[in-house]
Structure 1
Amino acid sequence: MAECPDLRFLLLPLPEFALLPFGGFIDKLRFSADDEDYSRQRYCAWTILGLQPGHVLSSSGAALRIEATPDELTLADYDYLVLFGGRNAQATAALAPAYQPLLRRAARAGVKLVAIDNASFLLAACGLLDGHRVAVHWRHEAEFRASFAHVRLARERLYCLDGARISCAGGAAAIDLAVELLAQGSGRARALKGLADMLVDETRSGQHALRSLQMASSGERHVDRAIALMRHGLASADGIEQLAASVGISRRQLDRLFHASQGMSAREYWNELRLQHVRWRLLNSSHSLAQLADEIGVSDASHLGKLFRQRFGVAPGTFRRQGGVL
């Protein structure tokens, strides 16, 4: 019997945290924490932390009970403080004044800070990612870059381990990160324990490339790669010629493939991606139209407003005030 756990985790779900990464992460800990499936915290242990006692609501409305507050425990007794981000990245970053004292105390105590999903916005707003690389969900890369241009993004990564700062894009990648942390502290065999019970075939490295991010239903390799480049270059000044060259075909070939699989030219598809990004950001951030214009490489807010009205039939400000009702 283990006398004390190999690893101890503080789990800190932020308001409106996503259940998927939280559930995947804690269940992976549970399977690795004991022999068989007894769910005892023998080889690793965890405590659900909150600034105040009570419950914290997830993005789906489900409530999670807080087990301890910072004053009830000794931070130095823990190896990792794992933050699970809220639904809205800017609202999560705005929590910095409330959470910064705790996070800085934990860092001084030698606790490694782990940001899952939009929790990276909170760490960055607290100045705790300076000099570190961070993995961010692909949907939020442009938003993160606009807010924290001095913090280096680890692009196309599911998770990134950078010393005492660890980040994860969220979703099911939280399981992969849990496996990696457990492997480092308890060995690979114990880290992999229970994956079959979770119906997970295999774990993915931080560099794993998501096939689902390619989005093309035709399975056409060139279109897949072009769409991936478009997503990561919403603000790029490159034209379709450069994009086609990066894919390894001519512009005419690329347009023909896009018309066949997407019903539009490559340029039209790229412009649509940009405007759909702005549409999503208007509903899920408080950034100004000028900032959103920078994110997609449009010259100014006035021009973006014109493009948005042409596409969606409503001004961006009206769209935001109406909550997306067209």
Structure 2
Amino acid sequence: MLAGMTLNPSPQGEPLSVGFVLLHRFTLLPFAAFVDCLRLAADEGDRSRPLHCHWTFMTSTGQEAVSSCGAAISPCLSFREPAEFDYIVVIGGVQDERDRADTTALAYLRQAASAGVPLVGLCTGVFALIQAGLMTGRRCCVSWYHHRDMVQRFPAIQPVADRLYIDDGDRLTCAGGAAAADLAAYLVERHLGKAWAMKSLHIMLLDEARAGTQPQPQPVVFGKIEDRLVRRAIAVLEQHLGEAISMEALAERVGTSRRNLERRFQETLGVGPQKFARDLRLRYGVWLLHYTGKSITEIGERCGFADTAHFSRHFRSAFGMPPSEMRKRAGEPGGDRVDPFFLHIEGRPAL
């Protein structure tokens, strides 16, 4: 059992020191995943003594940091000298408060960059790095959920949303969520050795660290839709890509009748909700074909189809080729990976 193991830190090693910049209403999961990976690698067993890893929580005022879910982190310090840290990790907040740019934090990030300290942007923390002017000419990893927002706000930036994180030397960016644990384990392994990284992950009930190049589990995202009820229904469908939800259940979830739901979909999108839902699951199937190694049978099941034949039949009808042919074309030299957002289904352009 790992709790009884004796691990020796890497011989190269000074303790790994990480400073956290917690912005207003920062997202809690990537923060917790990252810092807990450090905590578990810092000591033998689960004793949490900061022996091999040190971490410091910082805010612009030195006061407690309040996360997007309302949980507060305390105590926090005001910003320390950047050279004290091997990495400075910035974790952003919700993006509907764009006017609340923390100018003190942005200045601190620029100071850290000038001092040569590698910067890590977790989740929407990458927005702060961009606002600080520190991502020009850099690759930038962002969650599929924030991809469109970033493109609209920062048209000069080309975000990547088909992987978990990117190590670009002294700039590391991560899509957030559970992928923060993968990035933290990657850095722990670099500084302390693989045994310490695996020890952390195993206690966190994770088998192993996923590579940064592993694709995000990305559903299909649609453009702006004016009808609020239709938008809510699509959000429910995106949460149930692995099952064929009934139209009665969908209507109940969004607080309307099936008849009204069908009428609103037809008026807004020119197609009924049942067909829209199937098309949505087919687009998700295209994404899985291109960005995962799952078998066609597994993909059909994951997209909510009863069996492989059912999935293949609808897939061929929609895209003019069976799933196996689309995967083969994507794997050919020079073959383009298809973005399901731009696919046409039965002559109807994607939304």
TM-score, with normalisation over the residues of structure 2?
Answer: 0.62
Q: Letter of the 1:25 partner, please give it.
A: F
Residue in structure 2 matched with residue 87 of structure 1 by the alignment = 94
Note if 1:188 corresponds to 2:205.
no
Aligned-partner Cα distance in 1 for 2:99–2:192? 33
Residue in structure 2 matched with residue 148 of structure 1 by the alignment = 154
For residues 106-145 of structure 1, the aligned pairs below 5 Å read: 106-145=112-151
Q: Letter of the 1:217 partner, please give it.
A: G
Q: Deviations over 1:202-230 (max 9, x none)?
A: 22111112446376426999643435699
How far apart are residue 196 of structure 1 and its match?
2.1
Q: Deviations over 1:137-182 (max 9, x none)?
A: 1011122122222223233011111011110111000000101111
Note closer, same or farther for the CA distance 1:217–1:266 as it changes in structure 2 (3 Å cut).
farther
- Unmatched segments (≥5 aa) in structure 1: 231-247, 258-264, 272-326
3-state SS of the aligned residue for 2:172?
strand
* Contact preservation (8 Å) 2:282, 2:315: no
Note closer, same or farther for the CA distance 1:28–1:249 as it changes in structure 2 (3 Å cut).
same
- Unmatched segments (≥5 aa) in structure 2: 1-7, 221-237, 245-277, 291-311, 322-344
Q: Letter of the 1:112 partner, please give it.
A: P
* Contact preservation (8 Å) 1:117, 1:170: yes
Note closer, same or farther for the CA distance 1:5–1:190 as it changes in structure 2 (3 Å cut).
same
Q: Letter of the 2:57 partner, please give it.
A: I
Residue in structure 2 matched with residue 293 of structure 1 by the alignment = none
Residue in structure 2 matched with residue 45 of structure 1 by the alignment = 54
Aligned-partner Cα distance in 1 for 2:39–2:92? 21
TM-score, with normalisation over the residues of structure 1?
Answer: 0.66
Aligned-partner Cα distance in 2 for 1:229–1:267? 21
For residues 216-231 of structure 1, the aligned pairs below 5 Å read: 216-217=241-242, 223-226=283-286
How far apart are residue 50 of structure 1 and its match?
1.0
* Contact preservation (8 Å) 1:31, 1:37: yes
Q: Deviations over 1:222-264 (max 9, x none)?
A: 643435699xxxxxxxxxxxxxxxxx9998611799xxxxxxx
Aligned-partner Cα distance in 2 for 1:229–1:139? 20
Note closer, same or farther for the CA distance 1:120–1:210 as it changes in structure 2 (3 Å cut).
closer
Q: Letter of the 1:133 partner, please give it.
A: R
* Contact preservation (8 Å) 1:136, 1:168: yes
Max Rg structure: 2
Note if 1:36 corresponds to 2:45.
yes
Q: Deviations over 1:262-318 (max 9, x none)?
A: xxx6677932xxxxxxxxxxxxxxxxxxxxxxxxxxxxxxxxxxxxxxxxxxxxxxx
Note if 1:77 corresponds to 2:84.
yes
How far apart are residue 14 of structure 1 and its match?
0.9
Residue in structure 2 matched with residue 65 of structure 1 by the alignment = 74
Q: Deviations over 1:53-81 (max 9, x none)?
A: 221111111111143212xx322121111
Percent identity between matched residues is: 33
How far apart are residue 195 of structure 1 and its match?
1.7
Give 2:180's match in structure 1, choosing from 170, 174, 177. Answer: 174
3-state SS of the aligned residue for 2:97?
helix
Note if 1:9 corresponds to 2:18.
yes
Aligned-partner Cα distance in 2 for 1:180–1:252? 41
Aligned-partner Cα distance in 2 for 1:229–1:141? 21
* Contact preservation (8 Å) 1:8, 1:77: yes
Root-mean-square deviation over aligned CA pairs? 3.6
Aligned length: 247
3-state SS of the aligned residue for 1:213?
coil
Q: Letter of the 2:195 partner, please give it.
A: A
For residues 152-301 of structure 1, the aligned pairs below 5 Å read: 152-211=158-217, 213=219, 216-217=241-242, 223-226=283-286, 253-254=317-318, 270-271=350-351
Aligned-partner Cα distance in 2 for 1:31–1:268? 51
3-state SS of the aligned residue for 1:209?
coil
Note closer, same or farther for the CA distance 1:226–1:17 as it changes in structure 2 (3 Å cut).
same
How far apart are residue 96 of structure 1 and its match?
5.0
Aligned-partner Cα distance in 2 for 1:195–1:58? 24
Aligned-partner Cα distance in 2 for 1:169–1:99? 20
Q: Deviations over 1:7-55 (max 9, x none)?
A: 1000111111111111111110001011122111111110001111221
Aligned-partner Cα distance in 2 for 1:125–1:26? 24
Residue in structure 2 matched with residue 242 of structure 1 by the alignment = none
* Contact preservation (8 Å) 2:63, 2:77: no
Note closer, same or farther for the CA distance 1:250–1:159 as it changes in structure 2 (3 Å cut).
same
Q: Letter of the 1:102 partner, please give it.
A: Y
How far apart are residue 99 of structure 1 and its match?
2.0
